[in-house]
């Protein structure tokens, strides 16, 4: 099974126009060290169980993840500098590019996903695969689509129909991929085009506390579900029951790994990344199991480091 990770550095490292409302600087983590520790632990755990783990990134991402941290990806493709002029709010562009560029069945895995076992092969045997299907507490899709429509966004009929009908469902793309490459490539290209042709309208998205970055979930996750449903593509999921609050805790709490209740964690969103206890457990794991890599992260974020990515 081919595993893919992607890192478009522009939103994650901040800078002019970056999405500070979603705390994308430092990758959303409490501090830069935890951002790079997460990348380190995610990659190394994937390599424990999968022979092929590819990185799709830009020049700055390669400098950090490969040249400085020396993470053991089996293939590195430096392609995301193509988005140098894109709006940094559009942080999902790197993922969508990575999906579109695949030529064999694959699973893309986010950098805040940590595994303690191989991901099951039935996921890449399916036409489309995802972490799960979101169907609860999706009020933000309604709110986001309403602001997009008011702001004059050029939306495809599938999203306008979703807004009209309500009852939202979407794919959770903590992991995403599958074996139907023509469909995945078509969806990801449509999503990239959708994002880029509306990027000059992002200032119209004024949702309190979440800002313009929420459009990424519309482009990446809601749109994927709409197209899969329209084209009658079945979706295999890793976590079929993860909608409940108990299930959310299951995949965001390191203690559940120690208690052997799960072999998969996804610290999605800001809340778990901003939790000091989770960050300290992550640091302890990297320091204990991968001490050489831990030392490189410490050196990377040291105030004495040249061009420190803080």
Residue 213: what pLDDT? Answer: 79
pLDDT band at 22 (very low <50, low <70, confident <90, very high): very low
Per-residue pLDDT for 20 more than 60?
no
Contacts of 243 (CB under 8 A, 6+ apart): 132, 134, 135, 136
Question: What is the average pLDDT score of the chain?
Answer: 89
**What is the pTM for the complete model shown?**
0.92
pLDDT tens digits, residue range 170-190? 899 999 999 999 999 999 999
Confidence (pLDDT) at 306: 45
Other CB atoms closer than 10 Å to residue 120's CB: what's the count?
13
Element (H, E) at 235: strand 235-237
Model confidence band, residue 207 (pLDDT cutoffs 50, 70, 90) = low
Contacts of 295 by beta carbon, 8 Å cutoff, 6+ apart: none
pLDDT band at 300 (very low <50, low <70, confident <90, very high): very high
Backbone angles phi, psi at 152, to 5 degrees: 80, 20
pLDDT bucket at 297, cuts 50 / 70 / 90: very high
Q: What is the pLDDT of residues 245-259, one digit of tens each?
A: 556 788 999 999 999
CA angle 100, 49, 237 (to 5 degrees): 55
pLDDT the model gives residue 242: 64
Closest listed residue to residue 214, CA positions, set 262, 296, 147, 156: 147
Determine the average pLDDT of the residues in 188-206: 92
Q: What is the pLDDT of residue 219?
A: 96
Summarize the confidence of residues 105-124 as an average pLDDT: 97
25/23: higher pLDDT: 25
pLDDT tens digits, residue range 217-229?
A: 999 999 999 999 9
Q: Which fold has domain 2-301?
A: Spore Coat Polysaccharide Biosynthesis Protein SpsA; Chain A (3.90.550)
Q: Which of 269 and 275 is assigned the larger pLDDT? A: 275
Give residue limits of the domains in the chain. Answer: 2-301
| pLDDT (average), residues 135-161 | 86
């Amino acid at each position: 099974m081919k595993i893919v990770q992607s890192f478009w550095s522009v939103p994650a490292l901040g800078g002019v126009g970056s999405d500070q409302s979603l705390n994308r600087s430092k990758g959303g983590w409490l501090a830069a060290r935890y951002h790079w520790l997460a990348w380190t632990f995610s990659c190394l755990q994937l390599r424990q169980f999968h022979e092929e783990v590819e990185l799709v990134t830009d020049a700055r991402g390669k400098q950090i993840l490969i040249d400085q941290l020396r993470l053991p990806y089996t293939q590195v493709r430096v392609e995301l500098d193509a988005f140098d002029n894109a709006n940094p709010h559009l942080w999902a562009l790197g993922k969508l590019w990575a999906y579109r560029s695949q030529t064999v069945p694959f699973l893309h895995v986010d950098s805040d996903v940590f595994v303690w076992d191989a991901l099951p092969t039935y996921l890449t045997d399916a036409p489309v695969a995802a972490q799960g299907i979101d169907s609860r507490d999706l009020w933000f899709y309604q709110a986001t689509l309403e602001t997009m429509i008011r702001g004059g966004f050029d939306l495809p009929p599938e999203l306008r129909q979703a807004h009209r009908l309500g009852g939202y469902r979407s794919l959770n793309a903590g992991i995403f991929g599958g074996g139907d490459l023509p469909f995945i490539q078509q969806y990801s290209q449509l999503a990239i085009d959708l994002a880029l042709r509306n990027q000059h309208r992002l200032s119209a998205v004024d949702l309190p506390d979440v800002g313009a970055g929420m459009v990424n979930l519309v482009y990446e996750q809601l749109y994927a579900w709409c197209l899969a449903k329209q084209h009658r593509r079945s979706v295999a999921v890793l976590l079929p029951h993860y909608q409940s609050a108990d299930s959310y805790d299951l995949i965001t709490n390191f203690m559940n790994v120690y208690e052997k209740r799960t072999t998969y964690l996804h610290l999605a969103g800001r809340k778990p990344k901003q939790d000091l206890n989770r960050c300290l457990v992550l640091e302890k794991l990297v320091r204990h199991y991968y001490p050489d890599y831990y030392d490189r992260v410490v050196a990377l974020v040291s105030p004495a480091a040249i061009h420190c990515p803080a």
